[in-house]
């Protein structure tokens, strides 16, 4: 039995089943979450190229599948990245039953999981750019529907990814030329420039960031949170694979470029966040700051900074999922608006959703004692030694996001003359998920050692990248 076929086909088949069950949202959520849970267990424990007992029969699990001249390979170093993707998707899918999500979210989400798996398996891995293109097209389906008819943000995402993919493929062409002519450094110079441009676009680095706040404002908050977490996680692993495989990319100049790109995202996101009066766009700029923080960590090029980067990327989803679920309920009750003025006093009608929006957002901003602070603190310690200016910039940007959320919280909890006429209207099932989500944010913030072993194991897959 081929492991790549199993892991690629299972989410695809589940997506078809879930699509047929659109009238039964909880059945969809349970099936999707269960599939991701099983895949996560397989990613961790399935034996490769050896005989094992499966369903009462002796089966050899093969790690490679060849099709159309290309190979899809499941290597041991893929296990941590796959586990991250499957576990994050499992939590998002489990909460989809209680969240306000588009009808296509779960089928498109499962297709996304299959495509994300393909980006890690395909060899040569340059062809992962093609799967990222397909992933962007699938993301459009979950970001726009009848209840969220605006397509500006999702189409910008598709356009930017479409612009970035050709640069990656052209870089692959130049790398092949360098292989055949190793003494000619022109090929490597061209490949470096093309890769830098392609990754700049795919990672949504300024000035290619405009789709992030637009998607956060116009699309379903929960679907946007999924894209910001799982899809951007795949792009980050895609970049790390480049640096891990090609030694000529691991130059001081390249790492400096990563740091400056991260600083641009941090400064830009922090500057724009301070002026926001809508929770949607505010979260978009907070995501920009978080992406910039991860880029800064990778740019330091040390083992500790790489672990900090992976912690930032992995824990981003906890705050975003809680924020997305809470804001979805508030937005539906405020005539599809996330403006602070339209949400005045909402905390007295939807207290659990309001708390989730505030805590989830503050976690992404890196507030101490929340999950988002774990990776940020590790990064601050690294930056304080080598790049003190970047540490100040990140701290200022985080403070900007926190101040903007303080204004939003003040609007949510503001008393109005009609407070007494309203009763608590939070959905009871959603309350359970919101409470669990907030508890996880606080628990990880208080006991970060619970996730550090997994982060360390994931960093081990990129040994060549660090000094």
Q: How many whole angstroms separate alpha carbon 297 and alpha carbon 285?
A: 19
What pLDDT does residue 433 have? 85
**What is the spatial distance between Cα 367 and Cα 438, in angstroms, rounded to a whole number?**
13
Within the chain, how many helices (H) and strands (E) appear?
Answer: 18, 5
pLDDT at 77: 75
Cα-flanking dihedrals φ and ψ of residue 444, to 5°? -65, -35
Cα 48 off chain centre by: 28
Would you state the pLDDT for residue 34? 92
Return the pLDDT at 420: 47
pLDDT of residue 336: 73
Residues 6+ apart with CB under 8 A from 420: none
Contacts of 310 (CB under 8 A, 6+ apart): 375, 455, 458, 459
pLDDT at 338: 82
Strands 64-67 and 57-60: unpaired
- Contact present, 310 and 459 (Cβ < 8 Å): yes
Query: What is the torsion angle, in degrees rounded to the nearest 10, for the CA atoms of residue 353, residue 325, residue 162 and residue 66?
Result: 160
Instruction: Please give the pLDDT value at position 429.
Output: 77
Lookup: tokens for 364: 């992404």
What is the C-alpha separation between 397 and 401, in angstroms, rounded?
6
- Are 229 and 237 in contact by the 8 Å Cβ rule? The answer is no
Question: Which tokens belong to 370?
Answer: 């929340």
Averages of pLDDT over runs of 10 residues in the chain (467 residues) are 83 90 85 90 78 63 76 79 85 84 86 88 78 86 73 85 88 78 77 87 87 87 88 83 80 87 92 88 92 90 86 87 87 79 84 89 90 89 84 92 90 70 63 88 88 75 67
pLDDT given at position 290: 92
- Cis upstream peptide for 403 (omega within 30°): no
Check residue 400 and give its pLDDT.
92
pLDDT at 49: 66
Q: What backbone torsions phi and psi does residue 342 show, to the nearest 5 degrees? A: -85, -10
Other residues' Cβ atoms within 10 Å of the Cβ of residue 453: 9
Identify the pLDDT of residue 22. 80
pLDDT at 124: 74
């Amino acid at each position: 039995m081929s492991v790549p076929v199993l892991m690629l086909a299972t989410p695809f088949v589940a997506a078809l089943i879930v699509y047929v069950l659109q009238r039964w949202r909880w059945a969809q959520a349970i099936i999707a979450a269960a599939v991701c849970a099983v895949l996560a267990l397989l990613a961790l424990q399935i034996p490769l190229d050896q005989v094992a007992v499966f369903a009462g029969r002796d089966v050899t699990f093969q790690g490679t599948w060849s099709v159309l001249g290309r190979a899809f390979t499941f290597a041991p170093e893929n296990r941590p990245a796959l586990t991250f993707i499957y576990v994050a998707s499992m939590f998002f899918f489990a909460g989809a039953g209680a969240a306000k999500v588009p009808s296509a979210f779960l089928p498109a989400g499962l297709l996304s999981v299959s495509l994300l798996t393909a980006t890690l398996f395909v060899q040569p891995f340059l062809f992962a750019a093609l799967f990222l293109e397909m992933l962007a097209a699938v993301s459009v389906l979950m970001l726009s529907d009848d209840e969220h008819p605006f397509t500006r943000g999702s189409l910008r995402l598709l356009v930017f990814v479409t612009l970035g993919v050709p640069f990656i493929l052209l870089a692959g062409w130049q790398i092949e030329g360098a292989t055949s002519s190793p003494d000619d450094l022109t090929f490597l110079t061209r490949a470096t420039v093309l890769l830098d441009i392609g990754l700049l676009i795919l990672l949504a680095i300024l000035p290619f960031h405009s789709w992030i706040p637009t998607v956060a404002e116009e699309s379903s908050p929960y679907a946007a949170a999924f894209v910001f977490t799982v899809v951007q996680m795949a792009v980050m692993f895609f970049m790390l694979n480049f640096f891990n495989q090609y030694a000529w990319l691991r130059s001081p100049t390249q790492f400096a470029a990563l740091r400056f790109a991260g600083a641009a995202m941090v400064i830009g996101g922090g500057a724009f966040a301070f002026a926001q009066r809508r929770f949607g766009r505010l979260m978009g700029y907070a995501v920009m700051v978080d992406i910039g923080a991860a880029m800064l960590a990778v740019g330091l090029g040390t083992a500790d900074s790489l672990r900090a980067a992976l912690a930032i990327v992995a824990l981003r989803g906890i705050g975003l999922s809680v924020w997305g679920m809470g804001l979805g309920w508030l937005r539906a009750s405020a005539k599809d608006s996330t403006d602070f003025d339209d949400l005045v006093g909402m905390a007295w009608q939807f207290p659990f959703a309001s708390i989730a929006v505030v805590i989830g957002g503050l976690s992404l901003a890196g507030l101490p004692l929340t999950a988002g602070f774990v990776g940020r603190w590790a990064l601050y310690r690294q930056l304080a030694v080598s790049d003190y200016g970047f540490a100040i910039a990140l701290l200022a940007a985080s403070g900007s996001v926190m101040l903007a959320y303080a204004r939003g919280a003040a609007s949510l909890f503001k008393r109005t003359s009609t407070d007494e006429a309203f009763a608590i209207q939070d959905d009871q099932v959603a309350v359970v998920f919101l409470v669990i989500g907030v508890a996880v944010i606080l628990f990880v913030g208080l006991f970060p050692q619970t996730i550090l072993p997994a982060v360390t194991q994931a960093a081990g897959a990129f040994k060549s990248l660090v000094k």
